[in-house]
Amino acid sequence: MNTGSDEPGEVAVAADDMRANGVHSEQEGEPGLGSRAPEFIKARRVLHVSWQVGVFVVGLAVVVAGIIMLPLPGPGWVVIFGGMAIWATEFVWAQLVLRWTKRKVTEAAQRALDPKVRRRNIILTVLGLVIVGVLAGIYLWKFGLVMPWKIKDQ
């Protein structure tokens, strides 16, 4: 592809190639891929690499904190996606992962708003609650309300 050409056909082909490779222009609603570091940092190779290392370390710390929060109390997934957002300020692969994730979450939200899906989810939830209630009732009828600890009257 000749970048110096003013032919409109070649510009359209270049735009199609960029879209096919996952690169979108800012005019399509999504910012371009690549580093969002300030220009004075990008102009100096050593400073830019240091910046990338710093962004990676901070993002890694946030992602690790999110992974630790998954089994523990805390917003694990939110923190993990926050770390991915930190990485996405500098790394194309993280930007692509976040775009894919946003697309999938939007699709899931649209599916959840479908009246048929909502009705099915409500029916399944009510059915599950009825089953849990019946099982709890059977347990209480058979064994009574017994506390798992023994407290002696003194």
What is the pTM (predicted TM-score) of this model? 0.52
Q: CB atoms < 10 A from the CB of 93, how many?
A: 10
- Residue 144: the pLDDT is 82
Largest Cα–Cα separation, the chain: 96
Q: What is the DSSP letter of 27?
A: G
Q: What is the pLDDT of residue 103?
A: 92
As a whole number of angstroms, the distance between CA 46 and CA 127 comes to 61
Question: What is the tens place of the pLDDT at every residue in 111-141?
Answer: 888 888 889 989 999 999 999 999 999 999 8
* The predicted structure's pLDDT at residue 31: 64
d(CA 42, CA 49): 9
Domain ranges within the chain, ordered by starting residue: 33-113
Mean pLDDT of 47-71: 89
Identify the helix (H) or strand (E) that includes residue 13: helix 8-20
pLDDT of residue 14: 41
